Amino acid sequence: MKIQRLPLLVVLVSLVLLCLPVFAQDVPDALRPPKGAQVALVVFEDLQCPRCSMVAPLLAQASRTYKIPLVQHDFPLGPTHNWSFEAAVLARYFDTHSKEVGNAFRETVFAHQLEINPQNLRGFAEKFAAEHQIGLPFVVDADGKLAGLVRADRELGVSLHVEHTPTIWVVSNKRTGKSYVEVTDTNQLYVMIDAMKKE
């Protein structure tokens, strides 16, 4: 008799759990702030994307203003953006020296986006490296690890249903309710950060 009641108990417990609010463990790690931060900005970007270049300074400024992390992910868009993947690999190379240098390279690429093409990207990176007293090897990613990191970021974006760049979220470490929100209008960015910090 006890054996027959067990499946019913399992069904009832399952139904109760389904009715509970969504908790933090259901949120992908990518939509959580880095450890120690309560709120952060997360962006999936393409270094050849014109909109990304316009939004990048705003995100950097918001990060500084609110003293919150800005977590940048690579999302090269493919064949029409014919140098963005290689630029992301170069940015990852500069990350190996320091995250600050890697981010400075990204900012410089965005600032000079219209001047860059597949033929001069390497020269552009060499100039940046020289200005920062960093050696740039002839083959930047001999073992393919950096390209692997870029691909992993893109796959992560696909798993989060990223379809365009930039895709921006304000994320928090809240344990219940909505702990992240997509920024579809960057004019509302500060308002959205304020709202997330208050909740």
User: 84-98 pLDDT, tens per residue?
Assistant: 999 999 999 999 999
Distance CA 144, CA 62 (A): 34
How high is the pLDDT of residue 7? 52
Residue 179's φ and ψ, nearest 5 degrees, are -100, 5
pTM for the full predicted model: 0.83
Task: Tell me the domain boundaries of the chain.
Answer: 22-198
The per-residue pLDDT for 177 is 75
Local structure of residue 33 (DSSP, 8 states): P
Q: What is the pLDDT of residues 173-191, one digit of tens each?
A: 987 778 999 999 999 999 9
pLDDT at position 18, please?
40
d(CA 174, CA 24): 7
- Which of the four pLDDT bands, split at 50, 70 and 90, describes residue 1? very low
**Contacts of 103 by beta carbon, 8 Å cutoff, 6+ apart:** 72
DSSP string, 127-167: HHHHHTT----SSTTTTSHHHHHHHHHHHHHHHTT--SS-E
Between residues 14 and 150, the one the model is more confident about: 150
CATH topology of domain 22-198: Glutaredoxin (3.40.30)
Average pLDDT, the chain: 89
